[in-house]
Amino acid sequence: MSLLDLAKADHASIVSDTVSGFSQLLTLINPQGLSVVVAGLAADVGQTVDPDTGVMIVGRRVTVSLLTGPLRTSGIGEPRGIADAGSKPWVVRFADAHGNEHAFKVIQAMPDYVLGRVDCLLEAYRG
Protein backbone atom coordinates (compact mmCIF):
# COMPACT_ATOMS: atom_id res chain seq x y z
CA MET A 1 0.00 0.00 0.00
CA SER A 2 1.48 3.34 -1.02
CA LEU A 3 1.58 6.33 1.25
CA LEU A 4 -1.14 7.89 -0.89
CA ASP A 5 -3.38 4.85 -0.46
CA LEU A 6 -2.71 4.97 3.26
CA ALA A 7 -3.58 8.67 3.36
CA LYS A 8 -6.82 8.01 1.43
CA ALA A 9 -7.83 5.30 3.88
CA ASP A 10 -7.02 7.44 6.92
CA HIS A 11 -8.78 10.38 5.36
CA ALA A 12 -11.93 8.36 4.63
CA SER A 13 -11.93 7.08 8.18
CA ILE A 14 -11.53 10.56 9.68
CA VAL A 15 -14.29 12.10 7.58
CA SER A 16 -16.81 9.29 7.94
CA ASP A 17 -16.28 7.86 11.44
CA THR A 18 -19.45 8.82 13.32
CA VAL A 19 -18.87 6.21 16.06
CA SER A 20 -15.49 7.05 17.52
CA GLY A 21 -14.43 10.10 15.50
CA PHE A 22 -15.49 13.71 14.90
CA SER A 23 -17.84 12.94 12.04
CA GLN A 24 -21.62 13.28 12.23
CA LEU A 25 -24.61 12.48 10.07
CA LEU A 26 -25.67 15.22 7.66
CA THR A 27 -28.64 15.45 5.33
CA LEU A 28 -27.70 16.62 1.86
CA ILE A 29 -30.45 17.75 -0.53
CA ASN A 30 -29.75 18.41 -4.20
CA PRO A 31 -31.58 20.97 -6.40
CA GLN A 32 -33.93 18.25 -7.66
CA GLY A 33 -35.07 17.53 -4.10
CA LEU A 34 -33.26 14.18 -3.75
CA SER A 35 -31.83 13.81 -0.25
CA VAL A 36 -29.34 11.44 1.32
CA VAL A 37 -27.94 11.10 4.80
CA VAL A 38 -24.15 10.97 4.72
CA ALA A 39 -21.35 11.14 7.24
CA GLY A 40 -19.15 14.23 7.24
CA LEU A 41 -17.27 16.78 9.28
CA ALA A 42 -19.18 19.91 10.22
CA ALA A 43 -18.04 23.19 11.74
CA ASP A 44 -20.19 26.09 12.90
CA VAL A 45 -18.06 28.71 14.61
CA GLY A 46 -18.03 32.43 15.17
CA GLN A 47 -15.89 34.57 12.91
CA THR A 48 -15.36 38.25 12.26
CA VAL A 49 -15.07 39.86 8.87
CA ASP A 50 -14.37 43.38 7.68
CA PRO A 51 -16.66 44.34 4.81
CA ASP A 52 -14.09 47.03 3.92
CA THR A 53 -15.59 49.64 6.20
CA GLY A 54 -12.76 49.13 8.67
CA VAL A 55 -15.13 47.78 11.29
CA MET A 56 -15.22 44.10 12.14
CA ILE A 57 -18.57 42.35 11.99
CA VAL A 58 -19.24 39.26 14.04
CA GLY A 59 -20.84 36.36 12.25
CA ARG A 60 -20.65 32.62 11.87
CA ARG A 61 -18.63 30.53 9.47
CA VAL A 62 -20.22 27.20 8.69
CA THR A 63 -18.54 24.45 6.67
CA VAL A 64 -18.93 20.73 6.02
CA SER A 65 -16.54 18.21 4.50
CA LEU A 66 -17.97 15.20 2.68
CA LEU A 67 -16.48 12.18 0.95
CA THR A 68 -17.25 12.19 -2.74
CA GLY A 69 -17.33 8.38 -3.00
CA PRO A 70 -20.60 7.89 -1.05
CA LEU A 71 -22.14 10.84 -2.89
CA ARG A 72 -21.43 9.25 -6.26
CA THR A 73 -22.63 5.89 -5.07
CA SER A 74 -25.92 7.37 -3.89
CA GLY A 75 -26.47 9.09 -7.22
CA ILE A 76 -27.16 12.49 -5.66
CA GLY A 77 -24.14 14.06 -7.32
CA GLU A 78 -21.59 16.46 -5.87
CA PRO A 79 -22.71 19.72 -4.24
CA ARG A 80 -22.08 23.05 -5.94
CA GLY A 81 -22.86 26.66 -5.16
CA ILE A 82 -25.95 27.62 -7.17
CA ALA A 83 -25.97 31.32 -8.07
CA ASP A 84 -29.07 31.19 -10.28
CA ALA A 85 -32.03 32.48 -8.28
CA GLY A 86 -34.32 30.51 -10.60
CA SER A 87 -32.91 27.21 -9.36
CA LYS A 88 -33.04 25.47 -6.01
CA PRO A 89 -29.73 25.37 -4.16
CA TRP A 90 -27.88 22.47 -2.62
CA VAL A 91 -28.95 22.34 1.03
CA VAL A 92 -27.25 20.73 4.03
CA ARG A 93 -29.02 20.06 7.33
CA PHE A 94 -27.30 19.03 10.51
CA ALA A 95 -27.75 19.32 14.25
CA ASP A 96 -25.77 21.57 16.57
CA ALA A 97 -24.38 20.56 19.97
CA HIS A 98 -27.83 20.84 21.52
CA GLY A 99 -29.58 18.69 18.95
CA ASN A 100 -31.21 21.58 17.10
CA GLU A 101 -31.13 21.06 13.36
CA HIS A 102 -30.24 23.97 11.07
CA ALA A 103 -30.49 24.35 7.31
CA PHE A 104 -27.74 25.81 5.19
CA LYS A 105 -27.26 26.55 1.53
CA VAL A 106 -24.03 25.52 -0.20
CA ILE A 107 -22.42 28.70 -1.53
CA GLN A 108 -19.00 27.30 -2.40
CA ALA A 109 -17.83 23.74 -3.00
CA MET A 110 -14.08 23.10 -3.13
CA PRO A 111 -13.24 19.53 -4.08
CA ASP A 112 -10.10 17.54 -3.45
CA TYR A 113 -10.17 15.00 -6.28
CA VAL A 114 -7.07 13.16 -5.07
CA LEU A 115 -8.35 12.34 -1.61
CA GLY A 116 -11.97 12.23 -2.70
CA ARG A 117 -13.44 14.97 -0.54
CA VAL A 118 -15.47 18.12 -1.08
CA ASP A 119 -15.41 21.04 1.37
CA CYS A 120 -18.53 23.18 1.33
CA LEU A 121 -18.89 26.74 2.61
CA LEU A 122 -22.44 27.24 3.84
CA GLU A 123 -24.88 30.07 4.34
CA ALA A 124 -27.98 30.27 6.55
CA TYR A 125 -31.03 29.10 4.62
CA ARG A 126 -34.71 29.63 5.28
CA GLY A 127 -36.71 26.86 3.73
Partner 1 sequence: MNVSAPLIDQLIDKTDTFERVRDEIAAILLAETTNQKALAMAAGKPANEWALNIYTERSDPWNEYLDLPETLENPDEAPRVVNVWFNGLTFDMTGSNVVESQKATAIYHVDCYAYAASADATLGHVPGDQAANMRAHRTVRLVRNILMAATYTYLGMRGVVVRRWINAIDAFQPSANDRLAQSIGAARISLQVEFSEFSPQVTGVPLELISTSVKRNGHTGQIYFTANYPH
Name 71's Cβ contacts closer than 8 Å, sequence gap at least 6. Answer: 28, 36, 38, 77, 78, 79, 118
Q: Does 95 contact partner 1 by CB under 8 A? A: no
Triad 100, 94, 9: Cα angle to 5°: 140
77: left (phi over 0), alpha (psi -120 to 50) or beta: left
Could you give the 3-state DSSP secondary structure of residue 37?
strand
Among residue numbers 70 through 89, which ones bind partner 1 (CB under 8 A)? Answer: 82-89
Applying CB under 8 A, the span of 10-18, 34-42, 47-55, 67-75 interacting with partner 1 comes to 47-55
Q: Does 44 contact partner 1 by CB under 8 A? A: yes
CB 50, min distance to partner 1, A: 7
By CB under 8 A, how many residues form the interface with partner 1?
A: 39
CB 106, min distance to partner 1, A: 10
Instruction: Return d(Cα 106, Cα 64) in angstroms, integer.
Output: 9
Among residue numbers 54 through 73, which ones bind partner 1 (CB under 8 A)? Answer: 55-62
Residues lying near partner 1 in the complex (CB under 8 A) are found at: 44, 46-47, 49-53, 55-62, 82-89, 100-105, 107-108, 121-127
